[in-house]
Structure 1
Amino acid sequence: MIRVAVVDDHALVLAGLNALLATVDDIELIASAPTAEGARRIGANDRPDVLILDINLPDGSGIDVVRVLRRTAPTVAVLMLTMHDDDQSVLAAMRAGARGYVVKTADPEEVLRAVRSVAEGGAVLGAGVAHRALDVFAAAPRTPPFPSLTVREQEVLELIAQGVGNATIARRLGMASKTVSNHVTNIFAKLQVSDRSAAIIKARENGLGRA
């Protein structure tokens, strides 16, 4: 029996997953919660085989929860189930330690297959994100245009160049807003620019912001 917990702040999603899991004999729903704090508590106390987790939660990012559980409950396999299917969210979740990533538009059988696969130690990318993610991983490495920036600062600058605001950057990369602000300050200093507009221009002149 696969012991599963679900964390999502939408009651309809919780009800739908509860109904879906009740239709199969090899999966048991043991806990649910609507918050990041609830997810951390479930991971620490209930130790489910699989934790189905959304990215956007009212008290924090699901990606931050993955990082915490990777340290505190490494036996819990996290399956992200979210509406976000952009490359940044997928890569941030997988780098944090998620075992799988499926969008909420997936059909029920795809969700069940994903639960079983991550429970067995596999890694899953839902059909809606797999092809794009493979393209990203297969892309030839290139020298970053601003080598003085850290990897995280490069990620932040790419989103700045796309015109994305700090709050959205925080959600996509699974960081606190204050951390994003600190990265932005460091980026401006390293690029020797005084404001966001100048940073966008400089980044785009060097090939960023085309996604």
Structure 2
Amino acid sequence: MTDRRIRVLLVDDHSIVRNGVRRMLETAGEIDVTGEAETTQEAMRLVQEQDFDVAVVDISLPDKSGLDLLRMIRNDKPRLAVLMLSMHSIEAYALRAIKMGAAGYLTKDISAGTLVDAVRKAAQGGKHVTPELAERLVNAIGTGGGGAPHEMLSDRELEVLKLLASGERIVRIAELLHLSPSTVTTYRSRILEKTGMDSNAKLARYALENGLLT
């Protein structure tokens, strides 16, 4: 270990979550939260203006998804380690995040010690992978990348699936994602085809059973 301090960017649209994460990180003497953002746009502005060692990013953000932000950071600042933080279970997004280059995937019920260890490891260039996630990664590699149907969806298709499963109508989904209703309808058709389902009700049941809804 060096004496250099670890600079962390927190990205979450809920101030109470950011406050809680900051307090957990402050239990470690060498970690400083030097930036906070509520949206991907704010986060990318900070990434371009400041130097960070680790970004702790929520999966669900108001303007784009945390996975979109992960991709943007990997393209713009590939040396900046990104830890994904989510209320979703391992089943929902972890494999997707790790395959996209995340340094780890953490759920919001973790302990302060686990969070601090993950940030330290990420800052040193390592990855925080739980035994459960490691097993799923091995299984995914062993099956040629196959897995649950939702793992075959694009990031946008996964967002649309979640909203459909939550009972949102096409027009409302279009408003939330800044898309046209016809584009959302196209996404819905692709989702049904890829998952082998034929109704929103079945999508809702599938999403519930696979931990895609919070």
Q: Which runs of 5+ in 2 are unaligned?
A: 147-151, 169-176
Distance 1:142 1:114, change over 3 A: closer
CA displacement at 1:184 relative to structure 2: 4.0
CA displacement at 1:39 relative to structure 2: 1.7
Q: Do the aligned partners of 1:117 and 1:123 also contact (CA within 8 Å) in 2?
A: yes
Alignment root-mean-square deviation, CA: 3.8
Deviates more, 1:85-94 or 1:31-40: 85-94
- The one-character-per-residue Cα deviations of 1:88-118 (angstroms, maximum 9, x if unpaired) are 3111211222111111101100000000011
Does the alignment pair 1:106 with 2:110? yes
Residue 58 (structure 2) aligned to one of 54, 57, 81 = 54
Length-normalised TM-score, structure 2: 0.68
Distance 1:70 1:28, change over 3 A: same
Q: Do the aligned partners of 1:166 and 1:181 also contact (CA within 8 Å) in 2?
A: no
Residue 7 (structure 2) aligned to one of 3, 17, 25 = 3
Q: Do the aligned partners of 1:52 and 1:81 also contact (CA within 8 Å) in 2?
A: yes
Q: What amino acid does structure 2 have at the position aligned with 1:10?
A: H
CA displacement at 1:24 relative to structure 2: 2.1
Q: What amino acid does structure 2 have at the position aligned with 1:113?
A: D
Give distance in 2, aligned partners of 1:70 and 1:177.
Answer: 24
Distance 1:166 1:183, change over 3 A: farther
Q: Do the aligned partners of 1:21 and 1:28 also contact (CA within 8 Å) in 2?
A: yes
Distance 1:108 1:180, change over 3 A: farther
**Equivalent position of 1:173 in the other structure:** none
Residue 94 (structure 2) aligned to one of 90, 109, 112 = 90
* Identical aligned residues as a percent: 32
Q: Which runs of 5+ in 1 are unaligned?
A: 145-150, 168-175, 205-209
CA displacement at 1:52 relative to structure 2: 0.5
Distance 1:132 1:4, change over 3 A: closer
Q: Do the aligned partners of 1:47 and 1:75 also contact (CA within 8 Å) in 2?
A: no
Distance 1:187 1:113, change over 3 A: closer
Give distance in 1, aligned partners of 2:68 and 2:167.
Answer: 17
Give distance in 2, aligned partners of 1:143 and 1:124.
Answer: 21
Residue 65 (structure 1) aligned to one of 69, 72, 76 = 69
Distance 1:19 1:143, change over 3 A: closer
For these two proteins, the number of residue pairs brought into alignment is 182
Instruction: Map 1:9-158; keep pairs closer than 5 Å.
Output: 9-125=13-129, 127=130, 130-131=131-132, 134-135=135-136, 137-138=138-139, 140-141=142-143, 151-152=152-153
Runs of 4 or more consecutive aligned structure 1 residues displaced over 6 Å after TM superposition: none
- The one-character-per-residue Cα deviations of 1:99-153 (angstroms, maximum 9, x if unpaired) are 111111011000000000111111112x4xx415513532642797xxxxxx547
Give distance in 1, aligned partners of 2:119 and 2:190.
Answer: 40
Distance 1:166 1:109, change over 3 A: same
**Equivalent position of 2:172 in the other structure:** none
Distance 1:143 1:113, change over 3 A: closer
